[in-house]
Structure 1
Amino acid sequence: MSIELIIADDHPLLLKGLRDFLEENNFNILAQANNGKDALGLIEKHKPKIAILDLEMPEMTGLEVATACRIKKINTKIILLTLHKEIFILHQAKTLNISGYLLKDFAIEELINCIQKINVGEEYYSEKLFPEEKNNLNTVQNEKLTPSEIKILKLIADGLTSKEIAIKLFIAERTVDKHRSNIISKMNLDKKHNSLLIWAQNNKGKFF
Protein backbone atom coordinates (compact mmCIF):
# COMPACT_ATOMS: atom_id res chain seq x y z
CA MET A 1 0.00 0.00 0.00
CA SER A 2 1.44 3.38 -1.02
CA ILE A 3 1.93 6.12 1.55
CA GLU A 4 -0.85 8.74 1.47
CA LEU A 5 0.26 12.37 1.39
CA ILE A 6 -1.06 15.93 1.43
CA ILE A 7 1.24 18.52 -0.18
CA ALA A 8 1.17 22.32 -0.03
CA ASP A 9 3.24 25.11 -1.59
CA ASP A 10 2.22 28.59 -2.77
CA HIS A 11 4.45 28.37 -5.85
CA PRO A 12 2.50 26.59 -8.63
CA LEU A 13 5.55 25.27 -10.47
CA LEU A 14 7.16 23.94 -7.31
CA LEU A 15 3.87 22.35 -6.26
CA LYS A 16 3.46 20.66 -9.65
CA GLY A 17 7.06 19.48 -9.65
CA LEU A 18 6.69 18.08 -6.15
CA ARG A 19 3.50 16.24 -7.07
CA ASP A 20 4.94 14.81 -10.29
CA PHE A 21 8.06 13.61 -8.49
CA LEU A 22 6.11 11.92 -5.70
CA GLU A 23 3.63 10.25 -8.05
CA GLU A 24 6.48 8.98 -10.21
CA ASN A 25 7.80 7.30 -7.07
CA ASN A 26 4.44 5.67 -6.33
CA PHE A 27 3.26 7.88 -3.48
CA ASN A 28 -0.47 8.57 -3.24
CA ILE A 29 -1.26 12.30 -3.28
CA LEU A 30 -4.68 12.69 -1.64
CA ALA A 31 -4.89 16.44 -2.24
CA GLN A 32 -2.82 19.59 -2.63
CA ALA A 33 -3.10 23.20 -1.48
CA ASN A 34 -1.45 26.53 -2.27
CA ASN A 35 -1.87 28.10 1.16
CA GLY A 36 -1.63 27.03 4.77
CA LYS A 37 -5.29 27.42 5.67
CA ASP A 38 -6.42 25.11 2.87
CA ALA A 39 -3.64 22.68 3.75
CA LEU A 40 -4.91 22.46 7.32
CA GLY A 41 -8.45 21.86 6.07
CA LEU A 42 -7.25 19.04 3.82
CA ILE A 43 -5.26 17.49 6.66
CA GLU A 44 -8.35 17.61 8.90
CA LYS A 45 -10.47 16.05 6.17
CA HIS A 46 -8.17 13.29 4.94
CA LYS A 47 -6.00 12.59 8.03
CA PRO A 48 -3.03 11.56 5.84
CA LYS A 49 -0.04 9.71 7.24
CA ILE A 50 2.24 12.56 6.16
CA ALA A 51 1.84 16.19 5.00
CA ILE A 52 4.62 17.95 3.10
CA LEU A 53 4.36 21.71 3.63
CA ASP A 54 6.20 24.79 2.49
CA LEU A 55 7.44 26.71 5.53
CA GLU A 56 6.27 30.10 4.21
CA MET A 57 2.74 30.18 2.76
CA PRO A 58 -0.15 32.68 2.69
CA GLU A 59 -2.90 32.42 5.34
CA MET A 60 -0.87 30.10 7.60
CA THR A 61 2.80 29.12 7.63
CA GLY A 62 3.91 25.52 7.76
CA LEU A 63 4.79 26.03 11.43
CA GLU A 64 1.32 27.42 12.14
CA VAL A 65 -0.31 24.44 10.41
CA ALA A 66 1.82 22.10 12.53
CA THR A 67 0.79 24.01 15.67
CA ALA A 68 -2.89 23.70 14.74
CA CYS A 69 -2.50 19.95 14.11
CA ARG A 70 -0.94 19.53 17.52
CA ILE A 71 -3.75 21.48 19.22
CA LYS A 72 -6.39 19.49 17.34
CA LYS A 73 -4.55 16.24 18.17
CA ILE A 74 -4.20 15.27 14.51
CA ASN A 75 -1.57 12.55 14.16
CA THR A 76 -0.42 13.49 10.66
CA LYS A 77 3.37 13.70 10.48
CA ILE A 78 4.67 17.00 9.11
CA ILE A 79 7.59 17.53 6.74
CA LEU A 80 8.64 21.16 6.24
CA LEU A 81 10.36 22.38 3.08
CA THR A 82 12.27 25.62 3.49
CA LEU A 83 14.74 28.02 1.92
CA HIS A 84 16.00 29.03 5.37
CA LYS A 85 19.09 27.77 7.16
CA GLU A 86 18.24 29.30 10.52
CA ILE A 87 18.80 27.30 13.71
CA PHE A 88 16.03 29.33 15.37
CA ILE A 89 13.48 27.83 12.93
CA LEU A 90 14.85 24.33 13.45
CA HIS A 91 14.30 24.60 17.19
CA GLN A 92 10.75 25.83 16.63
CA ALA A 93 10.15 22.81 14.42
CA LYS A 94 11.44 20.42 17.06
CA THR A 95 9.22 21.90 19.77
CA LEU A 96 6.22 21.19 17.52
CA ASN A 97 7.25 17.56 16.94
CA ILE A 98 7.70 18.16 13.23
CA SER A 99 9.08 14.92 11.82
CA GLY A 100 11.03 16.18 8.81
CA TYR A 101 12.82 19.36 7.82
CA LEU A 102 14.42 19.72 4.38
CA LEU A 103 16.11 22.48 2.41
CA LYS A 104 14.23 23.04 -0.85
CA ASP A 105 17.42 23.12 -2.91
CA PHE A 106 18.13 19.51 -1.94
CA ALA A 107 14.57 18.24 -1.28
CA ILE A 108 14.33 15.95 -4.29
CA GLU A 109 17.46 13.98 -3.44
CA GLU A 110 16.45 13.56 0.21
CA LEU A 111 12.66 13.48 0.16
CA ILE A 112 12.07 9.78 -0.47
CA ASN A 113 14.46 8.77 2.30
CA CYS A 114 12.81 11.33 4.58
CA ILE A 115 9.30 9.98 3.89
CA GLN A 116 10.38 6.38 4.37
CA LYS A 117 12.03 7.10 7.70
CA ILE A 118 9.04 9.06 8.98
CA ASN A 119 6.68 6.32 7.83
CA VAL A 120 8.35 3.91 10.25
CA GLY A 121 8.32 6.36 13.15
CA GLU A 122 11.71 8.04 12.79
CA GLU A 123 12.61 11.72 12.24
CA TYR A 124 14.63 13.26 9.43
CA TYR A 125 16.38 16.62 9.71
CA SER A 126 18.58 17.30 6.71
CA GLU A 127 22.26 17.66 7.56
CA LYS A 128 22.51 20.07 4.63
CA LEU A 129 20.41 22.55 6.61
CA PHE A 130 22.69 22.77 9.61
CA PRO A 131 25.93 20.82 9.14
CA GLU A 132 27.23 22.25 12.43
CA GLU A 133 24.11 21.53 14.47
CA LYS A 134 25.25 18.15 15.77
CA ASN A 135 28.42 19.76 17.03
CA ASN A 136 26.36 22.49 18.67
CA LEU A 137 24.40 19.91 20.63
CA ASN A 138 27.62 18.55 22.06
CA THR A 139 29.25 21.84 23.04
CA VAL A 140 28.62 21.41 26.74
CA GLN A 141 30.07 17.90 26.67
CA ASN A 142 33.11 19.27 24.87
CA GLU A 143 33.54 21.74 27.74
CA LYS A 144 33.44 24.81 25.53
CA LEU A 145 31.26 26.54 28.09
CA THR A 146 32.65 27.70 31.42
CA PRO A 147 30.99 26.62 34.70
CA SER A 148 29.54 30.15 35.03
CA GLU A 149 28.06 29.99 31.53
CA ILE A 150 26.50 26.58 32.22
CA LYS A 151 24.97 27.92 35.44
CA ILE A 152 23.49 30.88 33.54
CA LEU A 153 22.30 28.59 30.74
CA LYS A 154 20.34 26.52 33.28
CA LEU A 155 18.64 29.65 34.61
CA ILE A 156 17.84 30.83 31.07
CA ALA A 157 16.22 27.43 30.46
CA ASP A 158 14.10 28.03 33.56
CA GLY A 159 12.81 31.22 31.94
CA LEU A 160 14.65 33.79 34.05
CA THR A 161 15.48 37.18 32.54
CA SER A 162 18.96 38.71 32.66
CA LYS A 163 17.86 40.95 35.52
CA GLU A 164 16.46 38.01 37.50
CA ILE A 165 19.61 35.97 36.90
CA ALA A 166 21.78 38.90 38.03
CA ILE A 167 19.81 39.20 41.29
CA LYS A 168 19.92 35.45 41.89
CA LEU A 169 23.67 35.18 41.30
CA PHE A 170 24.58 38.53 42.91
CA ILE A 171 26.27 39.81 39.76
CA ALA A 172 25.74 42.79 37.46
CA GLU A 173 23.09 42.50 34.76
CA ARG A 174 25.67 43.52 32.14
CA THR A 175 27.78 40.55 33.26
CA VAL A 176 24.84 38.23 32.55
CA ASP A 177 24.36 39.82 29.14
CA LYS A 178 28.07 39.30 28.40
CA HIS A 179 27.74 35.62 29.32
CA ARG A 180 24.66 35.31 27.11
CA SER A 181 26.56 36.83 24.20
CA ASN A 182 29.48 34.45 24.76
CA ILE A 183 27.18 31.42 24.88
CA ILE A 184 25.43 32.42 21.64
CA SER A 185 28.81 32.84 19.96
CA LYS A 186 30.20 29.53 21.25
CA MET A 187 27.05 27.60 20.34
CA ASN A 188 26.90 29.29 16.92
CA LEU A 189 23.27 30.21 17.59
CA ASP A 190 21.19 32.72 15.69
CA LYS A 191 21.23 36.17 17.30
CA LYS A 192 17.47 36.61 16.96
CA HIS A 193 15.40 37.35 20.03
CA ASN A 194 14.71 34.24 22.15
CA SER A 195 16.92 31.91 20.10
CA LEU A 196 19.10 31.19 23.16
CA LEU A 197 16.03 30.64 25.34
CA ILE A 198 14.59 28.15 22.85
CA TRP A 199 17.91 26.29 22.55
CA ALA A 200 18.32 26.14 26.32
CA GLN A 201 14.79 24.85 26.89
CA ASN A 202 15.06 22.26 24.11
CA ASN A 203 18.29 20.86 25.53
CA LYS A 204 17.58 21.16 29.26
CA GLY A 205 18.33 17.82 30.87
CA LYS A 206 20.24 16.55 27.84
CA PHE A 207 23.53 18.36 28.13
CA PHE A 208 23.29 20.48 31.31
Structure 2
Amino acid sequence: MNTSIVIADDHPLMLRGLTDFLTSKGYNIIGSAEDGNAAYNLIVKLKPEIAILDIRMPFKTGLEIAEACKKNNLKTKVILITFDKEEGVYDQAVEFGVYGYILKEFAVEEIETCIRQVKIGKPYFSEEIATYLKASTFDKKPEALKLLTKSELKIVKLISDSNTSQDIADELSISVRTVDKHRSNIVHKLSLDNKPTSLSIWATLNKKFLV
Protein backbone atom coordinates (compact mmCIF):
# COMPACT_ATOMS: atom_id res chain seq x y z
CA MET A 1 0.00 0.00 0.00
CA ASN A 2 1.35 3.44 -0.90
CA THR A 3 2.55 5.95 1.66
CA SER A 4 -0.36 7.72 3.39
CA ILE A 5 0.15 11.47 3.64
CA VAL A 6 -1.63 14.47 5.17
CA ILE A 7 -0.68 17.92 3.83
CA ALA A 8 -1.31 21.28 5.54
CA ASP A 9 -0.58 24.80 4.33
CA ASP A 10 -2.53 28.02 4.86
CA HIS A 11 -1.74 29.14 1.31
CA PRO A 12 -4.39 27.45 -0.89
CA LEU A 13 -2.25 27.57 -4.04
CA MET A 14 0.72 25.90 -2.31
CA LEU A 15 -1.58 23.32 -0.74
CA ARG A 16 -3.30 22.51 -4.02
CA GLY A 17 -0.06 22.49 -5.98
CA LEU A 18 1.72 20.10 -3.62
CA THR A 19 -1.35 17.86 -3.31
CA ASP A 20 -1.82 17.65 -7.08
CA PHE A 21 1.89 17.04 -7.65
CA LEU A 22 2.16 14.19 -5.14
CA THR A 23 -1.14 12.65 -6.28
CA SER A 24 0.16 12.65 -9.85
CA LYS A 25 3.24 10.79 -8.61
CA GLY A 26 1.06 8.08 -7.06
CA TYR A 27 1.16 9.08 -3.41
CA ASN A 28 -1.88 8.47 -1.24
CA ILE A 29 -2.99 11.90 0.01
CA ILE A 30 -5.61 11.04 2.62
CA GLY A 31 -6.29 14.54 3.94
CA SER A 32 -5.41 18.22 3.64
CA ALA A 33 -5.91 21.27 5.83
CA GLU A 34 -5.42 25.03 5.80
CA ASP A 35 -4.79 25.58 9.50
CA GLY A 36 -2.87 23.90 12.28
CA ASN A 37 -5.79 22.68 14.37
CA ALA A 38 -7.41 20.97 11.39
CA ALA A 39 -4.06 19.45 10.43
CA TYR A 40 -3.43 18.03 13.90
CA ASN A 41 -6.98 16.64 14.10
CA LEU A 42 -6.44 14.88 10.75
CA ILE A 43 -3.19 13.36 12.01
CA VAL A 44 -4.87 12.06 15.17
CA LYS A 45 -7.87 10.72 13.27
CA LEU A 46 -6.27 9.31 10.11
CA LYS A 47 -2.83 8.32 11.49
CA PRO A 48 -0.93 8.99 8.26
CA GLU A 49 2.61 7.68 7.84
CA ILE A 50 3.79 11.19 6.96
CA ALA A 51 2.50 14.73 7.57
CA ILE A 52 3.82 17.53 5.35
CA LEU A 53 3.26 20.77 7.24
CA ASP A 54 3.86 24.46 6.66
CA ILE A 55 5.67 25.89 9.68
CA ARG A 56 3.58 29.06 9.91
CA MET A 57 -0.18 28.37 10.04
CA PRO A 58 -3.12 29.80 12.04
CA PHE A 59 -4.01 28.21 15.41
CA LYS A 60 -1.08 25.77 15.46
CA THR A 61 2.27 26.10 13.72
CA GLY A 62 3.95 23.13 12.09
CA LEU A 63 6.44 23.11 14.96
CA GLU A 64 3.65 23.02 17.54
CA ILE A 65 2.05 20.10 15.71
CA ALA A 66 5.39 18.27 15.65
CA GLU A 67 5.76 18.91 19.39
CA ALA A 68 2.24 17.59 20.06
CA CYS A 69 2.88 14.48 17.94
CA LYS A 70 6.04 13.76 19.89
CA LYS A 71 4.42 14.42 23.27
CA ASN A 72 1.50 12.09 22.45
CA ASN A 73 3.70 9.39 20.91
CA LEU A 74 2.05 9.60 17.48
CA LYS A 75 3.91 7.58 14.89
CA THR A 76 3.33 10.04 12.04
CA LYS A 77 6.66 11.37 10.74
CA VAL A 78 6.63 15.14 10.26
CA ILE A 79 8.12 16.99 7.29
CA LEU A 80 8.19 20.78 7.59
CA ILE A 81 8.16 23.12 4.60
CA THR A 82 9.26 26.65 5.31
CA PHE A 83 10.94 29.86 4.24
CA ASP A 84 12.77 29.96 7.60
CA LYS A 85 16.53 29.53 7.69
CA GLU A 86 16.89 30.71 11.29
CA GLU A 87 19.03 28.43 13.41
CA GLY A 88 16.58 28.64 16.33
CA VAL A 89 13.68 27.36 14.22
CA TYR A 90 15.84 24.54 12.88
CA ASP A 91 16.97 23.61 16.41
CA GLN A 92 13.34 23.41 17.53
CA ALA A 93 12.54 21.14 14.59
CA VAL A 94 15.34 18.80 15.64
CA GLU A 95 14.20 18.94 19.27
CA PHE A 96 10.66 17.92 18.32
CA GLY A 97 11.85 14.94 16.28
CA VAL A 98 11.03 16.36 12.83
CA TYR A 99 12.21 14.00 10.08
CA GLY A 100 12.26 16.41 7.15
CA TYR A 101 12.93 20.13 6.75
CA ILE A 102 12.50 21.60 3.27
CA LEU A 103 12.68 25.18 2.05
CA LYS A 104 9.52 26.16 0.17
CA GLU A 105 11.35 27.36 -2.90
CA PHE A 106 12.71 23.83 -3.37
CA ALA A 107 9.66 21.91 -2.15
CA VAL A 108 8.59 20.38 -5.47
CA GLU A 109 12.19 19.52 -6.40
CA GLU A 110 13.00 17.85 -3.10
CA ILE A 111 9.75 16.48 -1.68
CA GLU A 112 9.91 13.06 -3.35
CA THR A 113 13.49 12.46 -2.20
CA CYS A 114 12.52 13.63 1.26
CA ILE A 115 9.50 11.28 1.44
CA ARG A 116 11.59 8.29 0.31
CA GLN A 117 14.21 9.00 2.99
CA VAL A 118 11.70 9.68 5.75
CA LYS A 119 9.69 6.57 4.91
CA ILE A 120 12.69 4.37 5.74
CA GLY A 121 13.45 6.34 8.90
CA LYS A 122 16.23 8.56 7.59
CA PRO A 123 16.06 12.31 8.24
CA TYR A 124 16.20 14.64 5.25
CA PHE A 125 17.09 18.32 5.36
CA SER A 126 17.27 20.63 2.36
CA GLU A 127 20.82 20.96 1.08
CA GLU A 128 20.33 24.73 1.23
CA ILE A 129 19.60 24.48 4.95
CA ALA A 130 22.59 22.23 5.58
CA THR A 131 24.83 24.59 3.61
CA TYR A 132 23.51 27.62 5.45
CA LEU A 133 23.99 26.01 8.85
CA LYS A 134 27.45 24.75 7.97
CA ALA A 135 28.46 28.25 6.94
CA SER A 136 27.01 29.90 10.04
CA THR A 137 27.44 27.31 12.75
CA PHE A 138 29.48 24.34 11.64
CA ASP A 139 32.59 26.02 10.21
CA LYS A 140 34.90 24.77 12.97
CA LYS A 141 35.88 21.20 13.64
CA PRO A 142 34.04 20.05 16.79
CA GLU A 143 36.40 19.44 19.69
CA ALA A 144 34.28 16.44 20.71
CA LEU A 145 35.53 14.50 17.68
CA LYS A 146 38.81 14.02 19.55
CA LEU A 147 36.92 11.93 22.12
CA LEU A 148 35.89 9.31 19.56
CA THR A 149 37.82 6.12 18.87
CA LYS A 150 38.78 5.12 15.31
CA SER A 151 35.88 2.66 15.24
CA GLU A 152 33.44 5.32 16.42
CA LEU A 153 34.72 7.81 13.83
CA LYS A 154 34.23 5.21 11.11
CA ILE A 155 30.65 4.64 12.27
CA VAL A 156 29.89 8.39 12.37
CA LYS A 157 31.26 8.68 8.82
CA LEU A 158 28.95 5.86 7.67
CA ILE A 159 26.01 7.54 9.45
CA SER A 160 26.79 10.80 7.63
CA ASP A 161 26.39 8.87 4.36
CA SER A 162 22.82 7.92 5.41
CA ASN A 163 23.61 4.30 6.28
CA THR A 164 21.30 2.48 8.69
CA SER A 165 22.58 0.43 11.63
CA GLN A 166 22.06 -2.71 9.54
CA ASP A 167 24.07 -1.18 6.66
CA ILE A 168 26.88 -0.32 9.05
CA ALA A 169 26.83 -3.78 10.62
CA ASP A 170 27.14 -5.35 7.17
CA GLU A 171 29.90 -2.95 6.13
CA LEU A 172 32.00 -3.55 9.26
CA SER A 173 31.08 -7.24 9.72
CA ILE A 174 29.74 -6.68 13.22
CA SER A 175 26.31 -7.15 14.80
CA VAL A 176 23.59 -4.51 14.78
CA ARG A 177 23.66 -4.68 18.57
CA THR A 178 27.33 -3.71 18.53
CA VAL A 179 26.59 -0.82 16.17
CA ASP A 180 23.82 0.40 18.46
CA LYS A 181 26.17 0.20 21.44
CA HIS A 182 28.71 2.31 19.54
CA ARG A 183 25.99 4.78 18.59
CA SER A 184 24.97 5.12 22.24
CA ASN A 185 28.59 5.78 23.26
CA ILE A 186 29.01 8.34 20.47
CA VAL A 187 25.83 10.18 21.46
CA HIS A 188 27.12 10.33 25.05
CA LYS A 189 30.58 11.58 24.03
CA LEU A 190 29.14 14.24 21.73
CA SER A 191 26.65 15.34 24.43
CA LEU A 192 23.70 14.85 22.08
CA ASP A 193 20.17 14.03 23.17
CA ASN A 194 18.70 10.58 22.57
CA LYS A 195 16.26 11.54 19.81
CA PRO A 196 16.43 9.11 16.85
CA THR A 197 17.53 11.77 14.36
CA SER A 198 20.01 13.76 16.45
CA LEU A 199 23.15 11.76 15.65
CA SER A 200 22.26 11.52 11.95
CA ILE A 201 21.77 15.28 11.70
CA TRP A 202 24.97 16.00 13.63
CA ALA A 203 26.94 13.61 11.39
CA THR A 204 25.46 15.12 8.23
CA LEU A 205 26.25 18.69 9.28
CA ASN A 206 29.82 17.79 10.31
CA LYS A 207 30.49 15.45 7.38
CA LYS A 208 33.39 17.52 6.03
CA PHE A 209 35.35 16.85 9.22
CA LEU A 210 34.87 13.06 9.02
CA VAL A 211 37.79 12.18 6.75
What TM-score, normalized by structure 2, do the two folds share?
Answer: 0.66
**Superposed CA offset, 1:18-75 (max 9, x none):** 1000001100001000000110000000111000000000000000001111111101
Query: What residue number does 2:7 align with?
Result: 7
Question: CA contact under 8 A between 1:36 and 1:58: conserved in structure 2?
Answer: yes
1:176-195 matched pairs, under 5 angstroms = none
C-alpha distance after superposition, 1:64-98 (max 9, x if no partner): 00111111110100000001111111111001110
* Structure 1: distance between partners of 2:72 and 2:124: 23
Give the secondary structure class of the aligned counterpart of 1:40.
helix
Give per-residue Cα distances to partners, 1:115-172, cap 9 Å, x unaligned: 00000110001111241424634624379xxxxxxxxxxxxxxxxxxxxxxxxxxxxx
Could you say if the C-alpha distance between residues 82 and 132 of structure 1 is closer, same or farther in structure 2, counting changes exceeding 3 Å?
Answer: closer
The sequence identity of aligned pairs, in percent, is 42
For the pair shown, which has the larger CA radius of gyration, 1 or 2? Answer: 1
Number of equivalenced pairs: 148
The equivalent of 2:90 in structure 1 is: 90
Partner of 1:116: 116
Match of 1:187 in 2: none
The separation in 1 between residues aligned to 2:57 and 2:100, in whole angstroms, is 17
More helix by share: 2
Could you say what the CA RMSD is over the residues aligned between the two structures, in angstroms?
A: 2.0
Unaligned segments of structure 1, at least 5 residues? 144-202
Q: Kindly provide the amino acid, as one letter, of the partner of residue 101 in structure 2.
A: Y
Show the counterpart of 2:131. 131
Aligned to 2:16: 16
Partners of 2:111 and 2:67 lie apart in 1 by 22
Is contact 1:87-1:130 (8 Å) kept?
Answer: no
Contact persistence 2:50–2:78 (CA under 8 A): yes
Q: Which residue of 2 aligns with 1:105?
A: 105
Counterparts of 1:204 and 1:137, CA distance in 2: 16
Structure 2 residue runs of 5 or longer lacking an equivalent are 145-189, 193-198, 203-211
Amino acid at match of 1:52: I
* Number of the residue aligned with 1:34: 34
Q: For residues 142 and 19 of structure 2, what CA distance do their matches in structure 1 show? A: 43
Q: Which residue of 1 is the match for residue 168 of structure 2?
A: none
- Are the counterparts in 2 of residues 43 and 51 from structure 1 also a CA contact under 8 Å? yes
